[in-house]
Structure 1
Amino acid sequence: MTKLLLDVDTGIDDSFALLYLLGSPDAEILGISGTAGNVSARQVALNNLAWLELVGAPEIEVCLGSEIPLIQPLKTSPETHGPQGIGWAELPAPTRRISDRHAVELWSDVARRHPGEVVGLITGPLTNLALAVRKDPELPRLLQRIVIMGGTFDHPGNTTPTSEWNIAVDPDAAKIVFDAFSGLPEDRRPIVCGLNVTETIALRPEHVIRLAELARSTPAEAPSPDQPDGTRSTASSPLIRHLTDAIRFYFEFHRDWNWGWFAHLHDPFAAAVALDQNWAELRAATVDVELTGTLTRGTTIADWDGKWGREPNVWVAVRTDPERFFDVLIERIGLLARRLGRAD
């Protein structure tokens, strides 16, 4: 099993990533820290607790992380993920509680209790990890490696024309992390999953139907563009019902930007890579973050050919097999939902 430490800003695709891992027999989640990004840090923590409770997951520590970026003002994305970060879904309020300790303590403690064994998965801004590295500079060498959903390489951005959301929310933190994790052996380098790959992971209505069928949830429904916005699911499975409500909002968002009736699932792909790097074709690069460009702040820049004269510091995911990925995603979340049955 892979020991995982998650750092998230739980919106819709983070939710799918968490459920993918909870449905994965090869994943052991040691803790979850949340940072402000898609929604506020406190709402992120509540979303994590609510999903864990909904599926009856074992007790997993959920810590509150940074509530603001290192330097710039916080921006959130209710237009993308809904007011609570989970689209139209309305999860029962969790009875589990947020941990008393901060995410920075969680990072350091878990890495030191399991030196060389923990894979860190970051699907939100890198604020917590940057703060943790500042406090514990040995952290990059204590972790087995980190997998980051962030940035974009030779591909347009989704926040500015050149920048991706997780990096754009806190580019200063991203710069600290990329610098701190430089100089590691090849097999310990961070793996970065940017928009260039994650935008090939496009969830479509037929995937939602397959998920419901595997879960034995009735009716096997999918959000339709012919229905009014905000139409709620009537699925018999609580998990499928809430996921369908969440993903409808994401479909509507993508449609409103004239991208089509689908949803990019960036974060579940990074979760899959955290468990098995063979999900991605990887290419070595020296990656840095632009901090001062008037139009390009938050842009991740990859030196593929050594023009900077610096050793590669990451592996960049450049290709995958999206449909094979969806086969596994549907299987893991669908069977998780089937085990839960029909009862609310």
Structure 2
Amino acid sequence: MTHLVMDVDTGIDDSLALLYLLGDSRAQLEAIVCTAGNVPARQVADNTLGWLALAGAGAIEVALGAEVPLSQPLQTTEDTHGPLGVGYAELPPHGRTISGRHAASVWSEAARSHPGEVTGLVTGPLTNLALAVQLDPELPQLLGRLVVMGGALNHPGNTRPTVEWNTAVDPDAAKIVFDRFAGLPAERRPILCPLDLTERIVMTSAHVERLAAASGCAAPERILPSDDRGRRSSADVELIRQLSDAIRFYMEFHRDMGQGFIAHMHDPFAAAVALDPGRAQYRPATLDVELAGRLTRGQIVADWPGPSGAGIWGRPPNADVAADTDPEAFFDALIERIAAVALDGPAR
């Protein structure tokens, strides 16, 4: 069993990451904390509670965290994820409430309750975790492992030419986290899942059709590029109907960006790595974050060790960068786990 604190800005791909974890019996979600990113933080919390209710999950704490970045104005991306962050999905009323605790306290108290056993998974901006390590400087030593989705190292950015969305929203927070998590033993270094790899995690219409079939839908569920824009699903399994409507929006966005009728599943892949680090191959690197660049603020810069074991900066690695994987094996796992939730409810 893996104890997890999940830090999200729920969004479409965060939604699938959450359902992936709910469908895996190894995942013990201690809490989910919410930050502003894809949409404002309170909408993030409402989306998260809505998916938990729809999936039939038990009382998992959902705590609100930072509603703005540490030092710059908030930017959100409803054009990518829809006006409420879940595409065309219309999640039913959930009747659940946000925790009274702040996300930073949740991070600290979870790690102290299970020292060395909690894996932190961050699929949004790093604001909450930066606040947590400022509140509790021992937190990096108390966590078992940290997995972060973010960055574009040897790959184009998706927000600015060299900058990925999560770090663009709060570069100062990313800088604090990578600095504070430096110096850990190699087996506990943070794992970064950057665009270099996650943009190879490409969901297609065929994956959605397989998911619906595995979830017991009576009729094939097809999302086709020839469909009218915004067409809604008629799947008879509500979880799949809502997911399909969310994914359709995401695919339409990618098509609008000239990337094809696909959806990059950045966050579910990071969730899979959090449960099973062996799902990827890694390269150690020393990571830092550009804060002063007029064109590059928010860029994660990687210094790769040379044959001598040291990079140009002469600083030891502070992260392991996910560099390769088997995307179709991941999608097999994603379909299996989400279908299990649709058929039988959460695994624990």
* Interval containing the TM-score (normalised by the shorter chain): over 0.9
Counterpart of 2:90 in structure 1: which amino acid? E
Distance, in Å, in 2 between the alignment partners of 1:338 and 1:117 is 30
Counterpart of 2:67 in structure 1: which amino acid? E
Deviations 1:65-118 (A, max 9, x none): 100000010000000000110000000122010001110110111111111100
Unaligned runs of 5+ in 1: none
Query: How far is the alpha carbon of 1:339 from its aligned partner?
Result: 2.0
SS at match of 1:288: strand
SS at match of 2:192: strand
SS at match of 1:338: helix
2:308 is matched with which residue?
Answer: none
**Is 1:195 aligned to 2:195, yes or no?**
yes
Deviations 1:95-147 (A, max 9, x none): 01000111011011111111110000000000000000001000000000100
Runs of 4+ in 1 over 4 A off after TM superposition: none
Distance, in Å, in 1 between the alignment partners of 2:255 and 2:84 is 20
Distance, in Å, in 2 between the alignment partners of 1:198 and 1:93 is 32
1:1-344 to 2 correspondences below 5 Å: 1-305=1-305, 306-339=311-344
Query: How far is the alpha carbon of 1:324 from its aligned partner?
Result: 0.6
SS at match of 2:282: strand
SS at match of 2:31: strand
SS at match of 1:224: coil
Counterpart of 1:79 in structure 2: which amino acid? D
SS at match of 1:147: strand
**Alignment RMSD (CA, Å):** 0.7
Query: How far is the alpha carbon of 1:290 from its aligned partner?
Result: 0.5
Counterpart of 1:326 in structure 2: which amino acid? F
> TM-score w.r.t. structure 1 length?
0.98
Residues 4, 28 of structure 1: 8 Å contact kept: yes
Deviations 1:137-172 (A, max 9, x none): 000000001000010110110000100000110000
Query: How far is the alpha carbon of 1:40 from its aligned partner?
Result: 0.5
SS at match of 2:343: helix
> TM-score w.r.t. structure 2 length?
0.97
Query: How far is the alpha carbon of 1:233 from its aligned partner?
Result: 0.1
Unaligned runs of 5+ in 2: 306-310
Query: How far is the alpha carbon of 1:338 from its aligned partner?
Result: 1.8
SS at match of 1:245: helix
Identity, % of aligned pairs? 62
Distance, in Å, in 1 between the alignment partners of 2:45 and 2:232 is 24
Distance, in Å, in 2 between the alignment partners of 1:44 and 1:65 is 10
Query: How far is the alpha carbon of 1:218 from its aligned partner?
Result: 2.6
Deviations 1:35-87 (A, max 9, x none): 00000000000111101111111110000010000001000000000011000
The count of residues paired between Structure 1 and Structure 2 equals 340
Distance, in Å, in 1 between the alignment partners of 2:107 and 2:89 is 30
Residues 219, 234 of structure 1: 8 Å contact kept: no
SS at match of 1:4: strand
Distance, in Å, in 1 between the alignment partners of 2:63 and 2:254 is 31
Distance, in Å, in 2 between the alignment partners of 1:222 and 1:262 is 13
